[in-house]
Amino acid sequence: MKKQWNEKDLNIDSEKPRRFSDLLGALREFKGITRKAVLGDLLSILEENAYDDAGVLDIDHIKVVVSADGIVEGLVKDDPWLAGFYSVVVNVNDVVAKGAKPLGYVYVLSSSSSSMRRQIAKGVRYGIEKYGLKFLKGHTHPDTSYEAVDAAVIGVAHNIITSTAAKPGDSLIVAVDLDGTPGLKSWVKTFDSVLLKTRKQVLTRLEAIIRLSEKKLVHACRDISGPGVVGTILMLCESSHVGASIIIDDIPKPKKLGTQEWLLTYPSTGFVLTTNRPQDCVQLLSKHGLTAKVAGTITKRRIVQISYQDQTGTIMNLTEQSIFGVDKREKRGRVDAEEIEVKELPQTDVAEIEALLNKVWATAYEYPEEWRRNRILTKEQILKEMKSGYHYFGIRVGGGKLAGLYKAFVTKEGLFGEHQTVDPDHRAFGLATAMYHQFIRFAKENNCKKVYVNILANQIASRRILEKMGFHKKGREYEQAKGMKVQMYQHHV
């Protein structure tokens, strides 16, 4: 194994920030945080608003977790062996943060240098052996004008933790392996606690998060990544639509590093999580070799503040700003889902309903073709349903345009909802969530004991919304139409 750093690589600032304003400024301007802002433009195209580090597929009751990550170019050039090794580390942590056991690894290696490629591959091999992963597949670009290693890790879980379900009032826990060594490569400050440990020691620490997930002690979790501790908390808060009050003095820190230096550092084994059972979590984490402390509280107000030595300041107001670079115009136009007005649509709106159904379902390719065709109702079909007891509800946006709708029907069991439809031009604004809130209110108004819906078994975004609102699975997945598996979710009101 090669030595990780020379003494000249170290750049350790053991001094405290001279002023609180200096600490605030350093965090706001930290490249690890600011570089995340490019994501907003891409996420809007991909219609992704959960901002999780890993994705999940439910396959025959097995939860398959997949992460993808790349190593910054400066690190690849400065130390290709370490870049290969860390392409394993960062992806393993992403998978573990979801509560999953990592199993396999793939990469894409890009370099025109034979020596560079070999060093990266050697670092990768050391990493997969350290974590006990199977090397599944690799792809090499041998004639590029740049150096890169991008990778993915796959794992499985019994229960999933998201970074989207933090709840106001939760305790905010920071858990880190402090038995490590600081260093600097390119602009990336690191604290390595993996290289010199045995496989058993490394996996024992990660097992803590998996155990927390299986015991369902945690509401939300995220591994501490390039943006550092505070930046990671920012990402978790924006994903969960909450804020946080962070007590900097309570964040676990190596004695070798000063406060500011530590907050701008990437630790190779570290997690932030939220829970309403902090003592149980801290105890379990500590037993597995992690230093864990409650370092703040999750708040309903979407402002992330830090307190340090009796001074308090705001890092980011998430009602106006976005660590992910979500369009400011969107943020200004967005309101809390519970405040979006959802109204019952009268029979005179059937033409608009028909037009919206046609626009959305004609290209809803995640559904079988026959199912999509059946979702595009004519005015006559819509009117017939309204007269037979279906309630159509909709959301209108600027100028009165119908942007979203769903329909509901009162049954002996409760209130059944279906056919949720959102205009692609108005997704990621909380319209779907707003309709679920109104769905529950309408059920209460009509003395229904529960609400229930079917969603595609692999429709992760919808599942996240439902679980965050307190829905739970009823029964097993079943085939509602040929080639289309769905899962029923219900919520007692």
* 66-99 pLDDT, tens digit each: 999 999 998 999 999 999 999 999 999 999 999 9
H or E segment at 356?
Answer: helix 350-361
Torsion angles phi and psi, residue 240, rounded to 5: -95, 0
Residue by residue, pLDDT tens for the chain (493 residues) are 444 444 344 443 444 566 898 999 999 999 989 988 888 778 766 766 567 889 888 787 788 999 999 999 989 999 999 999 999 999 999 999 999 999 999 999 999 999 999 999 999 999 999 999 999 999 999 999 999 999 999 999 988 998 988 999 999 999 999 999 999 877 889 999 999 999 999 999 999 999 999 999 999 999 999 999 999 999 999 988 899 999 999 999 999 899 999 999 999 999 999 999 999 999 999 999 999 999 999 999 999 999 999 899 999 999 888 888 876 444 444 445 556 889 999 999 999 999 999 999 988 878 888 888 899 999 999 999 999 999 999 999 877 899 999 999 999 999 999 999 998 878 767 888 899 999 999 999 999 999 999 998 877 778 888 888 889 999 999 998 888 899 999 999 8
> Across the strands, what pairs with 491?
451
**Which of 303, 181, 224 has the alpha carbon at shortest distance from 33?**
224
Burial of 255: CB neighbours in 10 Å, binned 0-12, 13-18, 19+: exposed
**Which of 71, 101, 309, 50 has the alpha carbon at shortest distance from 211?**
101
Structural contact between residues 146 and 115, judged by C-beta atoms closer than 8 angstroms: no
State the sign of the Cα–Cα–Cα–Cα dihedral 85, 88, 93, 99: negative
Going by the DSSP 8-state scheme, the letter that residue 348 receives in this structure is: G
Query: How many other CB atoms are there within 10 angstroms of residue 271's CB atom?
Result: 28
> Across the strands, what pairs with 363?
none
Torsion angles phi and psi, residue 316, rounded to 5: -160, 135
- Residues 6 or more apart in contact with residue 286 via CB below 8 angstroms: 292
Per the structure block, which two tokens stand in for 409? 């029907």
Query: How many other CB atoms are there within 10 angstroms of residue 410's CB atom?
Result: 16
> Across the strands, what pairs with 250?
none
pLDDT tens digit sequence for 233-278: 999 999 888 999 999 999 999 998 999 999 999 999 999 999 999 9
**Interatomic CA distance for residues 416 and 450, integer angstroms:** 9
Query: How many other CB atoms are there within 10 angstroms of residue 399's CB atom?
Result: 5
Distances from the Cα of 226 to the Cα of 111, 318, 401, angstroms: 23, 20, 42
Query: How many other CB atoms are there within 10 angstroms of residue 61's CB atom?
Result: 9
All domains of the chain, ordered by start, with CATH? 53-158 (3.30.1330.10), 162-334 (3.90.650.10), 337-492 (3.40.630.30)
Single pTM value for the model: 0.70
Structural contact between residues 94 and 153, judged by C-beta atoms closer than 8 angstroms: yes
Torsion angle of alpha carbons 95, 99, 100, 105, nearest 10°?
Answer: 10
Going by the DSSP 8-state scheme, the letter that residue 414 receives in this structure is: S
Q: How big is the chain, counted in residues?
A: 493
Torsion angle of alpha carbons 37, 41, 43, 49, nearest 10°?
Answer: 70
